[in-house]
Structure 1
């Protein structure tokens, strides 16, 4: 009886320690999110979403160019990264004997661990210098460098979860290996692949450092990817370091909008994988 009581006491103590550790780990994030919501939510209005920035020192204005630029650059980066990331994941998962895999895995891990600012410098060398000017396209390339290793790793992981009997059934029907992968394996792992795409998008959408060297920023609304383009992280950074109180207020509002976009993307990823 004493032994049972001692085990029960230890179990309760360990549970209390785990709960306390979870609370301590979540407390800083909760405080940051709460502070951003308190300071930024009250600054959201119709002008914020429909108008461009005002000149320095003038009150009002909004971040319509930054919101549109964020959607365009992130979406274009996803379009660039998706075929490369999925192809790399397929090669790593479905062709483990390929001689390129060790090099590909090393490059993927290196790119994933590389600071975001270095990815921006890489896009600067490859696109900005070749083009001769900053542009939204170079920002999209920088976003793609962030997304590719995430998509590749997620695709590899979910493809390995697909039962091998699905592949064997396709091969038994006389289908070539590539057709089995495209017609049977990938559709079976569709939910996981889509989740990887959404998570990569959420990861890249909040980056500002790579865009300083690429998209550069633009106070005017533009849809041309070959011109400098504004984004929410860039505008947030510029306003946060400014001496104007109204810009600080709008920076908090931009943080709330950016946080909302990331949360919505994460919730969409959870919805896609629900029940699968």
Structure 2
């Protein structure tokens, strides 16, 4: 690649980066402005104030919402990653009658729109008595995710079978082969799965809207919706509080992606190479 072409590629990447960064830069800038200047569309505020970051904690139970979101997100991430890894390991490692057909059905489940299963799923959680609690927000992950199962299965298929044959010769059980051999070797793919699920659970609004009734159980997305109803379209027009709460809820995801960036790239690059 010539020097001119390389510089053109770098300039193009920088341009696209600025396009994607602009919304968040605007959000941070708006959170540092007084109410009258929120929508002046200036990235550099004429008047910088941090009062919004103090007031938002007073006007809304942000700490409680963050705690609820963290609980749901951690449980959803752990259960989805672990259960999907177990199922993917079974599809990749063991041969049994109907394996390919069953795996095809798992993949086919990704084609079912969420709206189709929304009411039956709600009725199940209602019969179990969990409506109004945080359980429906993560409990379904105990049964794995078709996308994560496919992702992890492709990674497991790249592992040499000789490793597990040697482990069996050394006396390792099926569980030990999975936990002590397969899991350490697939850490990049597991990190990708965990980060994807963490982001999905952290930003999920639909299920909190369906299952949560009391503000004490709200997650951050559901709490932001409540703030929007009260301070945005409710007539009070405190948009500075809404954008400030949005910044607070976005920062943890940015930190997570920065920390796990190397593992994400490695996991995506090596998944499905076989």
TM over 0.5, yes or no? yes
What CA deviation, in whole Å up to 9, does each residue of 1:113-165 have, x standing for no partner? 666666755542321354174221122236x3897345424432332333343
Cα distance change, pair 178–132 in 1 and its aligned pair in 2 (3 A): closer
**Unmatched segments (≥5 aa) in structure 1:** 1-6, 52-59, 221-228
Cα distance change, pair 92–251 in 1 and its aligned pair in 2 (3 A): farther
**3-state DSSP of counterpart to 1:245:** coil
Aligned match of 1:40 in 14, 19, 31?
A: 31
What CA deviation, in whole Å up to 9, does each residue of 1:34-66 have, x standing for no partner? 1221123546535645x5xxxxxxxx4442221
1:199 aligns with 2:187: no
Aligned to 1:152: 149
Aligned match of 2:249 in 238, 258, 261?
A: 258
Aligned 1:77-88 pairs, distance under 5 A: 77-88=76-87
- The whole-number CA distance in structure 2 between the counterparts of 1:102 and 1:161 is 21
Question: TM-score normalized by structure 1?
Answer: 0.70
- The whole-number CA distance in structure 2 between the counterparts of 1:265 and 1:119 is 31
Whether the aligned pair in 2 keeps the contact of 1:240 and 1:251 (CA below 8 Å) is yes
- The whole-number CA distance in structure 2 between the counterparts of 1:146 and 1:207 is 18
How far off its partner does 1:254 sit?
A: 2.2
Aligned match of 1:31 in 11, 16, 22?
A: 22
What CA deviation, in whole Å up to 9, does each residue of 1:60-112 have, x standing for no partner? 4442221121112222323432332121221232236552444345434634x
Cα distance change, pair 20–271 in 1 and its aligned pair in 2 (3 A): closer
Aligned to 2:215: 219
How far off its partner does 1:233 sit?
A: 0.7
Give the aligned length: 246
Aligned to 1:223: none
Aligned match of 2:218 in 230, 242, 246?
A: 230
How far off its partner does 1:200 sit?
A: 1.4
**Unmatched segments (≥5 aa) in structure 2:** 33-49, 268-274
How far off its partner does 1:198 sit?
A: 2.7
RMSD: 3.6
Cα distance change, pair 91–170 in 1 and its aligned pair in 2 (3 A): same
- The whole-number CA distance in structure 2 between the counterparts of 1:192 and 1:201 is 14
**3-state DSSP of counterpart to 1:213:** helix
Whether the aligned pair in 2 keeps the contact of 1:119 and 1:145 (CA below 8 Å) is no
- The whole-number CA distance in structure 2 between the counterparts of 1:176 and 1:145 is 23
1:187 aligns with 2:187: no
Cα distance change, pair 69–191 in 1 and its aligned pair in 2 (3 A): same
Aligned 1:59-74 pairs, distance under 5 A: 60-74=59-73
